[in-house]
Amino acid sequence: MTAVTTDNRQVRLAARPVGMPKPTDWKLTSEPVREIADGEIAVKALYLSLDPAMRGWMNEGKSYIRPVAIDEVMRAGGIGKVVASKSSKFAVGDYVSGTIGVQQFWIGQADDEAGAFYKVDPKMAPLPKYLNALGMPGMTAYFGLLDVGQPKAGETVVVSGAAGAVGQTVGQIAKHKGCRVVGIAGGKDKCDFVVNELGFDACIDYKNESVREGLKTHCPKGVDVYFDNVGGEILDHVLAKLAMKARIVICGAISQYNNTTPVKGPANYMSLLVNRARMEGIVVFDYADRYHLGVAEMAKWMKEGTFKTREDIVQGIDKFPEALLMLFEGKNFGKLILQVADDN
């Protein structure tokens, strides 16, 4: 018995990309949705999360998570609806968050680690928020900033990719903790958004102004915490402006993910010595047992109206390959999400 009587369209990895992923690096496939077995559930994908980290998952080699295999359905976190269940864990109609993959339906054991599904409540927040501040980007921002960055009230926090999913959340958390917050983003619209809508103290438009000069202007006492999503030259500019005992949170390096030449290491890293500063990496999964704390605090701020998030939603599973590229071209404005189906 199953409620599902349709095909499952899927996006699979066809080849390991060299540089920017090409259309031919993907394969769109379709297979019938099978009956579910005992203990299994079928989840209909509604929203999928598109993240810079996906580029890393497409490469071979040791990382914090195993690479997606060739011909495998591309890994993606998402929000879906349980449309069939032979498990006591989930009922038909439940909304869940988990690793759905870039496909219309996920089918498997309800308690399988591969899915790692947990229920979300559409009454508490609109479903896309669970892929943004209340999801992985939000948890990355929350624990990366607070646990690794350890900002103190009055300190200056700089965040790159400021209008992106992680960046917008980092900045707002830092404001809630009493910090001066300076964003770095590409374009006037994004900079206006984080300053006027999210309450950042300033934003440097790296596409139209000198990051070096901007840091000088907006961080007169130097940078105490830098939350880095981009790497590359911007990281070097911030290194040159560190305050004593500064902390750099290494969350990503989107400027380097599609390199065909070697990664540009931070030439100014000796500023760590001069300033007795530290640079540390963060992987969000390490904080899984404390996610609920981050969700609770940010949901409270959202209810108070002192915490906003913005999503950029692209429609249709077939759009996955081109939508992903928006991240690397800086074309998304807010958390990038792929809507796969309507909720009906």
Binding site for its own copies (CB under 8 A): 62-64, 231, 236, 250-253, 256, 262-283, 286
Hey, CA dihedral for 66, 72, 76, 77, is it positive or negative? Answer: negative
In the bound state with its own copies, the residue whose beta carbon lies nearer, of 23 and 262, is: 262
C-alpha distances in angstroms, 341 versus 80, 258, 261, 292, 313?
Answer: 9, 30, 39, 27, 12
Cα–Cα distance for residue pair 79/276, rounded to 1 Å: 43
**In the bound complex, what is the minimum distance in angstroms from residue 118's beta carbon to its own copies?**
23
**In the bound complex, what is the minimum distance in angstroms from residue 237's beta carbon to its own copies?**
13
In the bound state with its own copies, the residue whose beta carbon lies nearer, of 32 and 220, is: 220
In the bound state with its own copies, the residue whose beta carbon lies nearer, of 109 and 258, is: 258
In the bound state with its own copies, the residue whose beta carbon lies nearer, of 20 and 283, is: 283
**In the bound complex, what is the minimum distance in angstroms from residue 147's beta carbon to its own copies?**
11
**In the bound complex, what is the minimum distance in angstroms from residue 274's beta carbon to its own copies?**
5
C-alpha distances in angstroms, 143 versus 78, 85, 314?
Answer: 21, 34, 28
86-90, long-range: CB < 8 A, 24+ apart: 86/36, 86/37, 86/38, 86/39, 86/40, 86/41, 87/39, 87/40, 87/41, 87/111, 89/41, 90/41, 90/117, 90/119
In the bound state with its own copies, the residue whose beta carbon lies nearer, of 3 and 267, is: 267
**In the bound complex, what is the minimum distance in angstroms from residue 22's beta carbon to its own copies?**
23
